[in-house]
Amino acid sequence: VSNGNLLAILNRHYQDLTCLCFTDDSSHFLSGAKDCLALVWNLYSVLQTEPSQIPDPRHVWSRHSLPITDLCCGFGGPLARAATASLDQTAKLWEVSSGELLLSVLFDVGIMSVTLDLSEYHMFCGGMDGSIFQVDLCAWPVQRDRTFQTERENGKLFKGHRNQVTCLSVSTDGSLLLSGSHDETVRLWDIQSKQCLKTMNHKGPVTNAFIVLAPANMFNPDGKPSVPLPKFSKHLHGTESSDEQGNEGVTLRLGLHQQVRGAALNYLEKAERMYAQMHSTREKNLMGDQEHLTLQVSELEEEVSTLRKINKNLFDFS
């Protein structure tokens, strides 16, 4: 992202890709496609492979029988669990580390979207007909293959959308569910009561919506991106600009905002200069330049009082 260079091209799916997501620690990423496959990739091995070779995915999940529509990754980095949704009317839960299938739930409609809550206690699945299903992952008895029977599990159904549910997102406290649909609305639900709290209308089908933690400067009118991003290059090799640069690693420049502007000294540099002066004063003949010495002494006294104030503030605070 920092220089726009293309690092790898992965050609392992046989049909159009439908979804991509990273694990929370960015060590792996998952891809799902219309070829019914979900692949787990190790980011490090993808970046280390020779450009002439096509890297192999860590796992190939081929248990779906129709195109995969959505996938979602839980917490835990390489130990996380991932959920996949498919038009074959199932949602499946997998373990990223071993590649094992943990759970398969069969519904009576094709599943278009899937998400997990933060505690991974529930899995939410959005259907073709506008229904949203809540699957309890800790329900007893534990079965690897389950069927979600709508008549019997009426209390685990969100009803309101009139067309396919394209996206789902759960709030960090696990109390609210956000859903977007081709019926041109976004709805906010209370998970406990299954009631729709708010409906937001759009002028076309909603393809994506998610709840995000507000960044610190979101409401700051002066907040602007500090680093303009370059255009992403389209080719892996052969363009003149990339030949000139050679195969450089990704470079990150941190702490730019802390650099000193102009000649203004920051506090540490000022303290260092004072400290050097104090040492040099000892070495000089004290009978020398009396005025210069008086000036230095007053500066040092001022510094001592500042330090006392800082010390007192620290003491009061602690």
- What is the tens place of the pLDDT at every residue in 79-132? 999 999 999 999 999 999 999 999 999 999 999 999 999 999 999 999 999 999
Domains in the chain: boundaries: 17-214, 266-317
- What is the reported pLDDT for 51? 72
Residue 225: asked if its preceding bond is cis (omega within 30°), the reply is no
Residue 88 CB coordination number (10 Å): 19
Task: For residue 231, give Cα distances in angstroms to 6, 138, 240.
Answer: 11, 46, 15
Residue type present at position 89: Q
CATH of 17-214, picked from 2.40.440.10, 3.40.190.10, 2.130.10.10, 2.30.30.90, is 2.130.10.10
| Per-residue pLDDT tens digits for 251-295 | 444 444 444 444 456 667 777 777 777 676 555 555 556 777 888
Give CA angle at 224 (218, 227), nearest 5°: 125
Task: Answer for the pair 97, 90: CB distance below 8 angstroms, yes or no.
Answer: no
